[in-house]
Amino acid sequence: MGWKFTNTAFNNLFSRLAEDYTILAPKRFVKRGRFSDTDLIRYDEVKKPDDIVWKEKSTFSPKEAVFPVTQTLFYFTEEEFREPRPEAKQFLVFLRPCDINGIRRLDTIYIKNGPEPDSYYTDLRKRVRFVMIECAESFDNCFCVSMKSNTTSGYDMAVRLAGDNVLLEIKNDEFLSYITPDMPQVEFRPEFVMENKIKVNVPETNEIPAGIYNHDMWNEYKSRCIACGRCNTTCVTCTCHTTSDIFYDDNSLAGERRRTWASCHIDGFTDMAGGISFRKDNGSRMRFKVLHKIYDYNKRFGEHMCVGCGRCDDNCPEYISYSGCINKLNKLITEAVS
């Protein structure tokens, strides 16, 4: 079902929702961007619709809502431990179709990838509701159509800005109580991106030819990639993290266990006891990431891990094109198997 709101009526609806939910959405941070004169757009709590950046792609993904950068798993003393108390409010997150599909990949990794779900992720995920921002036109560097992530039905509400009005579709009945009887009902179904400027040809193969793993194409990234990890930390589907115990200064037997985002590109991620480290050079790290996103995950779960949001290309300080790397890889594999 759909409803049409004036801007004033939508502001009133937003205020009522904010009483019950912590609302997270793309928010502008002036002069905090990649360069000194650019802005940063990342997810943060918003209090009114005007705080939301509607017409630009966020620099960071919304995965922080379900997978925090740093998360305390439990507190401990020498005698006991306890988990953190959950926040009183649930979360309402405004995001785009590719990001909804991306969080569904996180669900697969943390809930379905093993005999038991990750309880910390699951408990937080249950408290998150999605408002899909209609995304009918592609942004630069997006290739969601090629990754089949341009459409989704996995949202609770969908919103479209239509001049002086706002159109809202509600799929989750728990939000119907916020609609007043005088609100005009309309036919509204969100549109989706049907074509990107960038087209990616993903290798369609059951097995990667052995020669690809040591191909010279990866040598380019040994020098170009600087292992900053920005492609991973801005990616909606990267799930790697590290776990550490933090001990308090006033009591060395008390503290907390935290997990924090980590990255297959960052130095030290694959370090092991005995001084052993896998994938020491940046080219092999690039190979691991690319093949995991479009081959390993797909072989196990039947879809590509990458959703084509293009944030890795947007944020790489060395202007490495992930989409270009996939096309290059596809050409090599096609030649190898033909």
Rounded CA separation 264/238 (Å) = 9
DSSP string across 64-75:
GGTS-SEEEEEE
Identify the pLDDT of residue 31.
85
Residues 61, 309: contact at Cβ < 8 Å? yes
pTM across the whole model: 0.93
Q: What is the pLDDT of residues 200-250, one digit of tens each?
A: 999 988 889 989 999 999 999 999 999 999 999 999 999 999 999 999 998
Q: What is the pLDDT of residues 78-132, one digit of tens each?
A: 999 999 988 879 999 999 999 999 999 999 999 999 899 999 999 999 999 999 9
Identify the pLDDT of residue 33.
83
DSSP string across 128-167:
EEEEEEPB-SPPTT--TTTTT-S-----SEEEEEETTEEE
Rounded CA separation 82/78 (Å) = 12
Angle at 300 between CA 299 and CA 301, to 5 degrees: 105
Residues 53, 27: contact at Cβ < 8 Å? yes
Sketch the domain layout of the chain as residue ranges.
2-186, 210-337
Rounded CA separation 225/213 (Å) = 18
